[in-house]
Amino acid sequence: MDKLRVRYPVIVEGKYDKIALSAIFDTPVFSTGGFSVFNSEGTRALLRRLAEKSPLILLTDSDGGGRQIRSFLSEILPPDKVIHLYIPQLPGKEKRKAKPGKAGLLGVEGMDPVLLRRLFAPFLTDAPARPASPPLTKTDLFSLGLSGKAGSAEKRAALAVSLGLPGDLPANALLDALNILFSRDEFLSRYGEKS
């Protein structure tokens, strides 16, 4: 089945949530790293910067930890830029875990894909998730020396910091962020020679 296109980027708690949503939806999905968002100025800066360009869909687990993360993000992001989606409180455990979590509830990663599709239905679109112009690609990052070459991690970090993003973004996360913040032409005209 083809992935469903979602109008806005999605913010989730962890990498397994990101993997689960990325398997179903065509949209950038960013992880807060769980509770590390409380201490990671870089992650907070990334989310604030993304919110400048687009509304963000916030989807956390329905347990106490998910509520804490949601509350924290609601305080640091503009209220008009956060779309809150909630999963139901369903007892169970994720397949990858040996036993249920403390609350005994399924998290985002354990939700049935049909339920997730229904939850995201109001935000689905036939339009491409990316801008109408071609997006930046991994090949562009490689050509600019931002991935796959000696010193690319340092160049990527310098670029990210200059844009107000975390300096430790992996190439794929940087690519997702750049495609939200810029059109391909705009980025290449501004940063193509500097990178």
Taking residues 27-32, report their average pLDDT: 93
How much is the average pLDDT of 185-192? 86
Mean pLDDT of 52-63: 94
User: Cα-flanking dihedrals φ and ψ of residue 77, to 5°?
Assistant: -110, 150
Degrees (nearest 5) of the Cα angle 22, 25, 31? 40
Whether the per-residue pLDDT at 89 is higher than 80: the answer is: yes
Chain centroid offset of residue 120 CA:
15
* Model confidence at 193: pLDDT above 80: no
pTM here is: 0.80
Q: pLDDT of 93-139, one tens digit each?
A: 888 888 878 888 889 999 999 999 999 999 998 865 445 678 899 99
Which residue from 73, 85, 65, 66 is spatially nearest to 8, judged by alpha carbons?
Answer: 85
> Domains in the chain, please, with CATH?
4-123 (3.40.1360.10), 138-191 (no CATH)
152-164: per-residue pLDDT in tens? 889 988 998 888 7
CA torsion sign for 181, 182, 183, 188 is: negative
Q: What is the mean pLDDT of residues 179-191?
A: 87
Across 161-172, average pLDDT: 82
pLDDT band at 195 (very low <50, low <70, confident <90, very high): very low
Measured between alpha carbons, how far is 135 from 26 in angstroms, rounded to an integer?
Answer: 14
